[in-house]
Amino acid sequence: MRIALGQLESGTDVGANLAAMDRFAEAAARDGARLIAFPEYATYEKKIVDASYPEAAEPVDGPVCRALAAIARRHGLALVAGTVETSGDRDRAYNTLVAFGRGGELLASYRKIHLFDAQGYGESRFISPGPSTAPVVFALDGVRFGLMTCYDLRFPELARELADAGAEVLLVCSSWVPGEHKTGQWLALNAARAIENGVYVAAPCQAPPISVGHSLLASPMGVIEADLGLEPGVRTVEISHAALASVREQFPTPEQRRLVPPRPSVS
């Protein structure tokens, strides 16, 4: 299966961001991609999350998401992108990934649960954490995709929950804040999540200067098979069921785990 990574340079002009996604989706479709994944905050982005984010927020059935659905439908490929969604708190929004099918239907949505309150940033001042920690997985052409957002990458439990829920590809849509050691950590953590779960990790990221770039595909062996570098662009990559099966046969770690957290009982 061919999927595409769209490395954006999103700003506060929502129309310009959508136009860039439309161009990248057109190129990806021409290259045979069945899905294109865009970064966190693909539709609205600034260097610092501030009060303008709740002001820019819309519901998942609002104009911005309708435009994303139209892009998917127009080019006949599934689309995943980061949006700013309204919440019940007028002063805070949700940082939400949406996934649309080739016909523009909503396949899944995921509200980021681990907010970036680190390195002097305070995402939670203007963004609410997702109220549900349940893993979000959707299927496309026989491949199961799990959704994660940026800072989630530092919490291996979520990746493991997604893999346990059947995810074969983790889509880690990000706007990874630059800083000392940050690019190295970005590369290492994506590879680690792939290795420890026997999955592909497809991680579209915002380009500099807001983020570090280096949108990537990590194989289930942790090999970085594609790296988009620093400039905005789109790259089509290959997901192989045979490669997944081979790695999982060599390293059957899910069956060998001895430390499995107990799940709460459902009454």
Query: Which domains are present in the chain?
Result: 2-253 (3.60.110.10)
- Rounded (10°) angle between helices 63-75 and 14-30: 20
145: Cβ contacts below 8 Å, ≥ 6 apart: 35, 80, 99, 137, 138, 139, 167, 168, 169, 170, 171
What's the pLDDT at 92?
Answer: 98
What sign does the CA torsion over 14, 5, 204, 66 have?
positive
Amino acid at 202: A
Express each pLDDT in 159-183 by its tens digit: 999 999 999 999 999 999 999 999 9
DSSP state letters, 8-61: ----S-HHHHHHHHHHHHHHHHHTT-SEEE--TTSSS--SS--THHHHH-B-TT
40, 123, 161, 168: the active-site residue = 40
45, 112, 161, 173: the active-site residue = 112
CA angle 64, 69, 72 (to 5 degrees): 130
- Confirm whether 157 is a catalytic residue: no
- Confirm whether 46 is a catalytic residue: no
| CA 185 and chain centroid, separation | 17
What's the pLDDT at 265?
Answer: 57
65, 150, 173, 205: the active-site residue = 150
Helix (H/G/I), strand (E/B), else coil: 210: coil
- Confirm whether 112 is a catalytic residue: yes
| 207 neighbors 7 (Cβ within 8 angstroms) | yes
What's the pLDDT at 184?
Answer: 98
What's the pLDDT at 267?
Answer: 47
* Residues of the chain predicted below pLDDT 70: 263-267
Other beta carbons within 10 Å of 221 = 15
| 70 neighbors 104 (Cβ within 8 angstroms) | yes
Express each pLDDT in 184-200 by its tens digit: 999 999 999 999 999 99
**Segment holding 254, helix H or strand E:** helix 253-256
What's the pLDDT at 263?
Answer: 65
Burial class (CB in 10 A: 0-12, 13-18, 19+), 112: buried
